[in-house]
Amino acid sequence: MAKIGIAGASGYTGFELLRLLTNHPDAEIVFLTSETYQGKEISKVFPSISGFIDTKLSSIESVSSDTCDIVFLALPHTTSMEKVPDFLKGGTKVIDLSADYRLKDPAVFKEWYSIPHQQPALLKDAVYGLPEIHREKIKAARLVANPGCYPTSITLALAPVVTEDWADLSSIIVDSKSGISGAGRKASLNTQFSEVNEGVSAYNIAVHRHTPEIEQELSALAKTNVQISFSPHLVPMTRGMLSTVYINLKQDKSIENLIEHFQKFYAEEPFVRILPLGEYANSHFTLSSNFCDIGVHVDKRNRRAIITSAIDNLIKGASGQAVQNMNLMLGISETTGLNFPGIFP
Ligand SMILES: NC(=O)c1ccc[n+]([C@@H]2O[C@H](COP(=O)([O-])OP(=O)(O)OC[C@H]3O[C@@H](n4cnc5c(N)ncnc54)[C@H](OP(=O)(O)O)[C@@H]3O)[C@@H](O)[C@H]2O)c1
């Protein structure tokens, strides 16, 4: 039984970790942290967990990883950056859900996050936690940088294509829609009900901080520098994410041929489902599950592939993927605790 700590258990991804791990046969929760609710039982903060776990929340300053095999950090970025070295002490492994250890180049981090990285030496130890691409490295990692939600949906949609010489890598356009929980639980004007309900809005076009992370992974796959145009949108749903990705093809490809290519690429993947001909990814059908559904289409008139990719931002886009990584690091079956369908409606 692996002993687990969760820092940031009072947030959205922290709660999802807790929900998944209370139902995990090989995990035992040792500590949960929150500054706001320290001293309170977790079931008083999230009544839906009543009867499953009654651990009291502690301040992050009062916990140590001495008694843990793995610590999850579900903290805002820059907070994680400072805490990772403390939690890594004594052989404990860390899975960080923030963006702090995802970028390999500290100069790129500084450019996009406007502060210097405080632990640049640790960046080379961090493994980007997308199991479909980095499975073997994750198994041996002591620090996993869990991917962002947009990068998960987009990288999985593009990985089978950017690795091929028939794709025009200079032509990638990505349009993504996210539920509001992607912004976390903390209060802010932009995520208030009356600000988001009944409206769809674009934000951070061409400057979203997930852009360098997506480009880093696509460039590594393509073995050449890849740049994308990325337009994220907020839609009035609590959770879920849909990315629509456009890429020009250098030669004619039939839709049947492209679907077959995606099916082969992901043939062994337990959490990627390639949809049959004519079906579109739909965030309804990945809700509350660890699946990424991918629909493959070809616009013959423009010789362009159009790929739709749906995930639950809090599961495959965050905590489910983190548990998938934990399973790999523990050497147990990758699907343990995650092998369930989504909810509907
Ligand atoms: N939401 C998503 O869909 C999503 C997807 C992928 C990745 N992520 C990343 O995952 C991380 C957590 O996101 P979230 O959505 O769960 O955020 P959240 O709901 O705002 O939760 C943040 C958690 O961090 C704690 N915290 C905040 N400031 C802290 C500090 N200075 N010291 C110690 N603890 C502190 C909060 O505790 P108290 O406020 O109770 O003290 C809370 O438990 C972020 O880095 C985010 O970018 C989120």
Determine the distance separating the centroid of ligand 1 and the alpha carbon of 22, expressed in angstroms: 20
Determine the distance separating the centroid of ligand 1 and the alpha carbon of 309, expressed in angstroms: 25
Determine the distance separating the centroid of ligand 1 and the alpha carbon of 188, expressed in angstroms: 13
Can you tell me whether residue 294 is helix, strand or coil?
strand
Q: Which of 12, 87, 176 to mutate to test the pocket of ligand 1 (most atoms within 8 A of CB)?
A: 12
Determine the distance separating the centroid of ligand 1 and the alpha carbon of 253, expressed in angstroms: 43
Strands (E) across the chain are located at 2-7, 27-33, 57-58, 70-73, 93-96, 126-128, 143-145, 173-178, 201-202, 229-234, 241-248, 272-274, 292-299, 304-311
Torsion of CA 214, 102, 143, 105, to 10 degrees: 120
Domains, in order of start, for the chain: 2-124 (3.40.50.720), 150-313 (3.30.360.10)
Sheet with 304-311, edge to edge strand ranges = 201-202, 229-234, 173-178, 241-248, 304-311, 292-299, 272-274
Give the pLDDT score at 107: 98
Give the pLDDT score at 318: 98
CA atoms of 30 and 13, how far apart (whole Å): 17
**Using one digit for the tens of pLDDT, what is the confidence trace for 3-36?**
999 999 999 999 999 999 999 999 999 999 999 9
**Looking at ligand 1, which residue's alpha carbon is closest to its atom 41?**
35
Give the pLDDT score at 90: 87
Task: Report how far apart the first and last C-alpha atoms of the chain are (Å, whole number).
Answer: 35
With the C-alpha atoms ordered 188, 289, 333, 296, is the resulting torsion angle positive or negative? negative
Radius of gyration of the chain (CA): 20
The active-site residue, picked from 20, 141, 149, 275, is: 149
Q: Which of 75, 150, 283 to mutate to test the pocket of ligand 1 (most atoms within 8 A of CB)?
A: 75
Give the pLDDT score at 315: 98
Cis peptide before 160 (omega within 30 of 0): no
Active site residue 68: no
Determine the distance separating the centroid of ligand 1 and the alpha carbon of 75, expressed in angstroms: 4
**Using one digit for the tens of pLDDT, what is the confidence trace for 97-145?**
999 999 999 999 999 999 999 999 999 999 999 999 999 999 999 999 9
Q: Which of 19, 32, 35 to mutate to test the pocket of ligand 1 (most atoms within 8 A of CB)?
A: 35
Residue numbers in the chain where pLDDT is lower than 50: none
- Which amino acids bring their CB within 6 angstroms of ligand 1? 8-14, 34-37, 60, 74-77, 79, 97-99, 148-149, 181-182, 184-186, 313-314, 317-318
